[in-house]
Amino acid sequence: MGQLFKVLSLAPRGIRHKLTMAFALMSVIPMLVCGYLIIYYIFPTVEDLGDVSVIFVTTIALVLMGFYLAKKIIYPIIEITTHAKVIAEGNSLGKVLEVKGEDEIGELSGSLNRLSSRLKENMSELRSYGEQIKQINMEINKKVFALSSLLQIGNLITTACDLDEIFGLIVEKVSQLEVDAGAFVMLLEEDSDQLTMRAQTNIKNEKLNSIKIKSGQGALGRVCQNSRPLVIDMQRRPKVMEEELVELLQAKNIVALPITCSGKVIGILGAGNNIDNFLFSDDEIELIGVFAKQVAVAIENEMLLRKTEELTVKDELTGLYNESYIRSRLDEEIKRAVSYQRPCSFIVIELNNFGHYRDVSGKTTAEKALKKIAQTLRESTSEIDKIARFSDHQFAVILPERNKQQTSNLAENILKEIRRFSLGKERVDPLAALTVSGGISSAPIDGTTSVELINKALYYIEQAKAKGVSDG
């Protein structure tokens, strides 16, 4: 029986019903019992009904007061319970529970409000941390990509690839830093001081390839002249907005950085995109600046390679002087001959069908023939004479202190000595035979500069070929 009453007393699921039943059991029912006793046992013996009325009214007032106090306890608890359930579900963290009081219920309400506020702040911080972590991951990925790209570009530079190929790779890598971005490289022409396009990607404007911008003219020209970056995005908009530039590059956001080589601006590396509300970060601008330095490194490397070639005076295969050296030395010998009124002559010996001979006989045989001819030239000339491999199939000799007749005799002897080699005539194919022709010139009869003497000797060779005067 006790277990049955226990089950029945816990049957209602809401605290409202439980508190109501508890209040009824503790106050209303005893009052009803008291009323019953008063009516049946006290009223018959009491003559003055006024006292009874006072007792009855007091009883009713006490009952109503009990209900009021029960409501003041029950409803705040219900509101707190509902609010706690909403917080547990993660909703309405910003809502304030308006239950006031200095008792335990008021303290519970205040604690719940503080808990809600703290949870809201924590959630906001977590979202902020999430965005920061996402941004950091993006920056890390960009820098890893940039490092990989720089290594790839560096490999191209060290292998002495063509500059346009290197520039093409650089603009491709810069364009991949942002979604659907374009990039370009413009360099200054030395003779005209104008920016011309050398490489571009993802810019759908055909005019861009043929455009020329004078240094100091327009936004890009000012970047080149002032050596200052140009940045156009949601926050940085120049006072003088170059709408023509935006239309030219077809981008809302643009960054253009100067390319500096040996302390001098030689061009511009730029990038642009059409992302709304976009902002170029300092790290991203710095990253593009690193690619701009790679452009400068590639150009400096090309210049050093050219200087190295100019400083090299010997041909690797034959050990003779090369063309650049012999041209400069010929100028010096001509000046000396003119100053001291002494003769100076020049010989060019040409292998007429060297390309075909090399194809038929093979590269090794062709190289042996070149070395044999170089040895013959050394043995036929003196120490003051200068011998060079003038091109792939030509040799040249500078002959100081020899006039044209002496030079002509020496050239005939050299050609005869070379013809003794046979050089492929033993082959069945007559076209595989290596034939030679020669031309001579002297200063000042045929010219007073190296260009004039060289051109004159080549002219005589062409004349000899036309007349069929060769050893063929």
Provide the residue ranges of all domains of the chain, joining segments of one domain with +.
12-88, 160-307, 323-467
More confident residue, 80 or 451: 451
Q: Is the pLDDT of residue 428 over 80?
A: no
Q: Rounded to 10 degrees, what is the CA torsion of 103, 105, 110, 113?
A: -170
pLDDT tens sequence across 356-388: 888 888 888 889 889 999 999 999 999 899 999
When pLDDT is cut at 50, 70 and 90, the band that residue 7 belongs to is: very low
Q: Name every residue whose Cβ is closer than 8 Å to that of residue 19 and which is 6 or more positions away in sequence.
A: 70, 73, 74
Burial class (CB in 10 A: 0-12, 13-18, 19+), 382: exposed
What pLDDT score was predicted for residue 346? 96
Residue 151 CB coordination number (10 Å): 9
When pLDDT is cut at 50, 70 and 90, the band that residue 240 belongs to is: low
Tell me what the pLDDT averaged over the chain comes to.
Answer: 79
Strand 212-214 relative to strand 264-273, pairing: unpaired
User: Which of 77-81, 122-126, 397-401 bottoms out in mean pLDDT, i.e. has the lowest?
Assistant: 77-81
Question: The domain 160-307 is classified under which CATH number: 3.30.420.40, 3.30.450.40, 3.40.50.300, 3.10.180.10?
Answer: 3.30.450.40
> How far apart (Å, rounded) are the C-alpha atoms in residues 366 and 308?
27
Q: Which two tokens stand for residue 29?
A: 């029912």
CATH code for the structural domain at 323-467 = 3.30.70.270
When pLDDT is cut at 50, 70 and 90, the band that residue 269 belongs to is: very high
pLDDT tens sequence across 407-420: 999 999 998 888 77
pLDDT tens sequence across 119-135: 777 777 777 777 777 77
% of the chain residues with pLDDT over 70: 75
